[in-house]
Amino acid sequence: MKNGTNGAFISGLEGVVAAQTKLSRVDGMAGELIIGGFAVEELAAQATFEETVYLLWHGRQPINSDPGLGHAANSLYMLTGHQPGPAQIRGLETYWNTVIDHGLNASTFAARVIIATRSDLVSAVTGAVGALKGPLHGGAPGPALDTVFTIGAPENAEPVLRAKLERGERLMGFGHRVYKVRDPRAEVLAAAAAQMYRAEGDMALYDLAKQVEETAVSLLAEYKPGRNLQTNVEFYTALLLHGLGLDSDLFTPAFALSRVAGWIGHCLEQQDYGRLIRPKAEYVGEYGRSWQPIAQRA
């Protein structure tokens, strides 16, 4: 067998560079192992396993919590590495308070169904997280913010949103299964976002979002008359969390950090109630069909 380059056979792919990685480097000749930029001798003896996991996933060392900070302030500090200001802390506190519970939504119902079987709390919360992952429940804030960034300037709001509606696309951040008027949570979060952006001294993105909101509501009334599609919680969630320095892939986890308290509250309530949740299904199939042996089926 020949070993070579330029398309030739290479036994076992020995010596072939098939990927680039920042995770680890193995130097067999020098007897060195580098993990995340650190010599294994230094890393293994000093880091906790959790720190090493964070290093591999994020490329940097995690920041320890500050016992002098509250939960919201510590969360922002550990995510961004910067001490948050009062407006940022208040923004996250307001967000978490606003979304902590919201009736018998999909994830909460999933948690109650699971705990009602006398399963454990971890299983119930895991099931709730699975429901929350769906974009129709917990995954809309990111796309709502993407729309604002795509528009870019107030004068673009009308043509961009109209084109979306002409193509039959949904406007993320508008409409709700329950609310037939403006979502009251949107009102709370809009005020919190305005306060935070004002404290930062830059209202440009907030003002753009307000223009997008007004234009979207107007166009939805034109294209979908009678449905009264109004701003929902996701629209200002996106604006607020972005202003706090969170990447869009953290929007749904940030929601879950609050809603998990609501899930647990519902689980405790369901445990006290003690009955299995077993609703009926309405049969809408056929009656009176005759079974045909497989040899006689066309």
Residue showing tokens 């308070």:
97
**Whether 176 is catalytic:** yes
- SS3 of residue 181 by DSSP: coil
Give the integer Cα–Cα distance in Å for 120 and 292: 46
Residues 6+ apart with CB under 8 A from 176: 183, 230, 232
Catalytic residue among 102, 176, 187, 200: 176
Token pair belonging to 271: 């445990």
Residues 6+ apart with CB under 8 A from 83: 73, 77
Give the integer Cα–Cα distance in Å for 123 and 110: 10
Give the integer Cα–Cα distance in Å for 85 and 65: 16
**Whether 187 is catalytic:** no
HEC-encoded secondary structure of 261-285: HHHHHHHHHHHHHCCCCCCCCCCCC
Q: Is the dihedral of CA 21, 22, 24, 29 positive or negative?
A: positive
Nearest to 138 by CA among 250, 230, 227: 250
Catalytic residue among 234, 242, 266, 269: 234
Partners of 132 in the beta sheet? none
Would you please indicate which residues are annotated as catalytic (active-site) residues? 176, 234
